[in-house]
C-alpha cells in the first residue's frame, strides 16, 4: 500500500501532521512515515482501574470513537487497577518516550497520589488534554429510610460514623465530596465512614444491595439504576438542577457544596515533540467528531476539552486545590 492510500485510511490528515512534525523524508515524491505516524496506526489506552468505572468507560469510549472515525487503525484498552489509579500510573510512567500508549486519569488520581504517598506523580507523564466533566450524585437504595438529603445530613450530624458511604478510591472525587458534605452538615469529618471500591461495578453492587448507607459517584454510573427505581437520588453536586434528574442540588438542600469530576488523557513522559503533536492531533480529531459528541450526550458527560499547555497549566492549579481540600477534610496531614 502506498503512502497516499495509508493516509486516506487515517482521516483528517493526522498522518501528515505526524510526518511533518517528526521529520519524515521525501523520497521519490513520496513521504516516508516517522515513528509518530506508527503511533497513530496502533494505540493502547490504559485505564488505571477495573472495568465498569468512569476511567474504564472513558477509555472504551475513546477506543470506539478513534477506531470508528478512522483516526487510529487499531485501539486496545488495558486495565491496570489498584490504589486509586497510582498502580496504573506507575506502570505507565515506565513507558518513557513511548508514543503508542496513553493513560486515562483525572481528579480522582490527584487525590490518590497524595493519600497513597505515591512516588510517581503526574509530573512523570505528559498532560495531553482534559476531555470530560461529570457532576456527582448521592444515592440510597430504594428501600432506604432516608428520603431526602436533609435526612442524610441530619443522620450525619447526629452520628457521623453510622453513615457508611460507598464510592471510588480513597482520596478521590467521591471521597472528597463525602467529606465536604459531612463538613457542610456540621458533622465530625474525622469520623467519616467511607468504604472505597476500586471498580464502579463493585461499588454499585454494594449500594444497591444495601451494604452501605449511601453511595456517591458520577451520575452516569448510577443513572440506569435511578431510572429503574433501584436507587433514589438524594442530590446532585451541580450548581443547578440537571434536566432529566428528579433531584435537588446540594445547595438547594442546605449544603454549600458544589463539585465536578473531570477526566483527561496523558501521554508517556519524555515524549518527542513529534510524537506529542501526533497524539494531540488524534485527540483533537476525536473530540471534534460526531461519534464523540454522541458519546457525551449518551453518557451525560460535560464537554470540558482543554488541550496542550492550557491543560498543563490547569492541572497545576488543580493539584494545588485538591491538596488544600484533602488537608481541610483530614485526608492528608
Grid cell, residue 303, equals: 464537554
Residues shown for the chain: 333
Has residue 198 been placed in a domain?
A: yes
Has residue 296 been placed in a domain?
A: yes
- Is the domain of 9 the same as that of 104? yes
- Is the domain of 268 the same as that of 128? yes
- Is the domain of 255 the same as that of 210? yes
Q: Among residues 231, 260, 289, which one ends one of the domains?
A: 260
Q: Among residues 208, 229, 260, which one ends one of the domains?
A: 260
- Is the domain of 267 the same as that of 247? no
CATH label of the domain that carries residue 62:
3.40.190.150
**DSSP-derived pairing of the beta strands 231-236 and 214-218:** unpaired
Q: How far apart are CA 290 and CA 292, in angstroms?
A: 6
Q: How far apart are CA 200 and CA 32, in angstroms?
A: 44
pLDDT, position 322: 81
Q: How far apart are CA 276 and CA 180, in angstroms?
A: 37
Residue-number span of the structural domain to which 232 is assigned: 134-260
Q: Among residues 260, 290, 310, which one ends one of the domains?
A: 260
- Is the domain of 144 the same as that of 250? yes
- Is the domain of 269 the same as that of 250? no
**DSSP-derived pairing of the beta strands 101-106 and 231-236:** unpaired
Has residue 171 been placed in a domain?
A: yes
- Is the domain of 114 the same as that of 200? no
Q: How far apart are CA 160 and CA 147, in angstroms?
A: 18
Residue of 179, 205, 204, 207 whose CA lies nearest to 193: 179
- Is the domain of 206 the same as that of 269? no
Has residue 333 been placed in a domain?
A: no
Q: How far apart are CA 145 and CA 285, in angstroms?
A: 48
- Is the domain of 87 the same as that of 155? no
Grid cell, residue 317, equals: 492549579
Has residue 332 been placed in a domain?
A: no
**DSSP-derived pairing of the beta strands 42-47 and 101-106:** parallel
Q: Is the dihedral of CA 37, 68, 9, 78 positive or negative?
A: positive
Q: Contact 326/114 with Cβ under 8 angstroms?
A: yes
**DSSP-derived pairing of the beta strands 214-218 and 26-27:** unpaired
- Is the domain of 18 the same as that of 119? yes
CATH label of the domain that carries residue 169:
3.40.190.10
What spatial distance separates the first Cα and last Cα of the chain, rounded to whole Å?
59
Find the helix or strand (DSSP H, E) in which 95 lies. Answer: none
Has residue 148 been placed in a domain?
A: yes
Q: Which residues face 263 on adjacent strands?
A: 106, 132
Query: Which residues have a Cβ under 8 Å from the Cβ of 160 and sit 6 or more positions away?
Result: 182, 187, 188, 189, 191, 192, 193
Q: How far apart are CA 232 and CA 210, in angstroms?
A: 12
Residue 285 exposure: Cα atoms within 13 Å on the Cβ side: 21
Q: Is the pTM of this model over 0.75?
A: no
- Is the domain of 104 the same as that of 223? no
Has residue 286 been placed in a domain?
A: yes
Residue of 208, 213, 197 whose CA lies nearest to 162: 213
Q: Contact 105/263 with Cβ under 8 angstroms?
A: yes
- Is the domain of 178 the same as that of 256? yes
Would you give the DSSP letter of residue 41? T
Q: Contact 142/301 with Cβ under 8 angstroms?
A: no
Specify the number of domains making up the chain. 2
pLDDT per residue of the chain (333 residues) written in tens, 0 to 9: 444 333 333 333 443 333 334 444 333 333 333 344 444 789 999 999 999 888 999 999 999 999 999 999 999 999 999 888 999 999 999 999 999 999 999 998 998 899 889 999 999 999 999 999 989 999 999 999 999 999 999 999 999 999 999 998 778 889 889 988 998 999 998 899 999 887 678 899 999 999 999 999 988 889 999 999 999 999 999 989 998 899 999 999 999 998 888 999 999 999 999 999 999 999 999 999 999 999 999 887 889 999 999 999 999 988 987 887 788 778 888
**DSSP-derived pairing of the beta strands 126-141 and 302-307:** antiparallel
pLDDT, position 23: 41
Amino acid at each position: 500500500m502506498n503512502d497516499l492510500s495509508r493516509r486516506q485510511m487515517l482521516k483528517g490528515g493526522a498522518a501528515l501532521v505526524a510526518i511533518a512534525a517528526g521529520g519524515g523524508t521525501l523520497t521519490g515524491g513520496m513521504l516516508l512515515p516517522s515513528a509518530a505516524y506508527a503511533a497513530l496506526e496502533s494505540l493502547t489506552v490504559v485505564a488505571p482501574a477495573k472495568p465498569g468505572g468512569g476511567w474504564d468507560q472513558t477509555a472504551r469510549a475513546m477506543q470506539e470513537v478513534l477506531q470508528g472515525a478512522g483516526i487510529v487503525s487499531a485501539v486496545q484498552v488495558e486495565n491496570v487497577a489498584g490504589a486509586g489509579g497510582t498502580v496504573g500510573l506507575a506502570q505507565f510512567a515506565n513507558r518513557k518516550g513511548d508514543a503508542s500508549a496513553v493513560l486515562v486519569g483525572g481528579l480522582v488520581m490527584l487525590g490518590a497520589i497524595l493519600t497513597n504517598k505515591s512516588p510517581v506523580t503526574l509530573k512523570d507523564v505528559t498532560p495531553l488534554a482534559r476531555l470530560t466533566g461529570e457532576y456527582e450524585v448521592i444515592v440510597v437504595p430504594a428501600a432506604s429510610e432516608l428520603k431526602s438529603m436533609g435526612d442524610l445530613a441530619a443522620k450525619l450530624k447526629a452520628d457521623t460514623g453510622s453513615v457508611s458511604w460507598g464510592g471510588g478510591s480513597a482520596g478521590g472525587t467521591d471521597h472528597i465530596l463525602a467529606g465536604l458534605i459531612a463538613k457542610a452538615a456540621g458533622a465530625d469529618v474525622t469520623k467519616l465512614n467511607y468504604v472505597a471500591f476500586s471498580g464502579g461495578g463493585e461499588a454499585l453492587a454494594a449500594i444497591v444491595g444495601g451494604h452501605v448507607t449511601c453511595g456517591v459517584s458520577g451520575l452516569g454510573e448510577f443513572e440506569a439504576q435511578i431510572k429503574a427505581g433501584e436507587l433514589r437520588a438524594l442530590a446532585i453536586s451541580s450548581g443547578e438542577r440537571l434536566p432529566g434528574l428528579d433531584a435537588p442540588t446540594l445547595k438547594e438542600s442546605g449544603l454549600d457544596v458544589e463539585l465536578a469530576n473531570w477526566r483527561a488523557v496523558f501521554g508517556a513522559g519524555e515524549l518527542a515533540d513529534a510524537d506529542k503533536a501526533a497524539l494531540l492531533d488524534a485527540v483533537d480529531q476525536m473530540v471534534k467528531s460526531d461519534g464523540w459528541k454522541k458519546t457525551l450526550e449518551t453518557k451525560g458527560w460535560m464537554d470540558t476539552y482543554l488541550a496542550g499547555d492550557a491543560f498543563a497549566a490547569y492541572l497545576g492549579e488543580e493539584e494545588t486545590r485538591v491538596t488544600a481540600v484533602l488537608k481541610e477534610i483530614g485526608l492528608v496531614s
